[in-house]
Amino acid sequence: AQTDCLSLSMTQASRALCGNPSEVLLNALLAGLLAESRVPAGSILDAGANDGEESCRFSLAARGRTVHAIDPLQQNVDAMRTRFASLPNLQPMLGGLGNRARTLHAPVKSTKASVGSQLFNLQSMRDSGEAELGQPFQVHRVDELFGSRWPTERLALAHIDVEGAELDVLHGANATIAASRPVLSLEVYPQTKESAARPLLHALSELGHDAHEHVRVAQLQARRAARLRKHVHVHRDVPV
């Protein structure tokens, strides 16, 4: 579709509303996949949306698609609803993703300036019932969301930035990924977190997805940039 052919990072409208991109290479790669119709029909899921700027770029680049921006901080969700009110296809939602539906709580001393959703590892958060609990939020399985909450939608693209809980998210999305064959974007630390990276890449391969890797450089220290890889996974039946 022509609406998918807009750049995610370089258009004047995108910069004015969404801010300057911090992941220029990733934006360019995903914009190319959208422009060349390599992304299947369906909705876009931004997990760990934080301030919503990536969700905003997705919404402008694909106005005909619904963009679900999921974040576990209420202040981030409220800010997205206010800032991006002009984008009807951007749908902020309070919550997290995982393999087990449950209630978790954000840290009590969380602030927009010091704690964003990208700092959260859902597996290390406190379960419901412990002392000094902050804002509660629900953890959802992707299969439940697309099976019950959004039953008429298919998953076309998922941008997953959950700081180490990617495999847990995938385990809760197996049926959706198998049925929809979406493009998947996520972070991998193959050098410093090899024990987590190997099973994650294996799970993606088992789902039929091959990796297209690039190094994230913008707004990262050089040493960290050398360790972090941003992977875009496309189903191997889709020519790239």
Concatenating the DSSP letter of every residue in 29-97 gives HHHHHHHTT-SPSSEEEEET-TTSHHHHHHHHHTTTS-EEEEES-HHHHHHHHHHTTT-TTEEEEE-EE
Question: Is the predicted pLDDT of residue 64 greater than 60, yes or no?
Answer: yes
> 72-107: per-residue pLDDT in tens?
999 999 999 999 999 999 999 999 999 999 998 886
Q: How much is the mean pLDDT over the chain?
A: 77
Q: What are phi and psi of 204, to 5 degrees?
A: -65, -40
Place of tokens 């992304």: 39
Residue 131 corresponds to which tokens in the numbers above?
A: 């002392």
- Distance from C-alpha of 96 to C-alpha of 218, rounded to nearest angstrom: 26
Residue 189: band (very low, low, confident or very high) from pLDDT cuts 50, 70, 90: low
pTM for the whole structure: 0.80
Q: Give the whole-number percent of the chain exceeding pLDDT 70.
A: 70
Give the model's confidence band at 6: pLDDT under 50 very low, under 70 low, under 90 confident, else very high.
Answer: very low
| DSSP codes, 123-171 | GGSPBTT-SS--SEEEEE-HHHIIIIISTT--EEEEEE--TT-HHHHHH
**110 vs 203: CA distance, rounded Å:** 33
> Exposed (0-12), middle (13-18) or buried (19+): which is 206, by Cβ within 10 Å?
exposed
d(CA 45, CA 1): 19
More confident residue, 113 or 126: 126
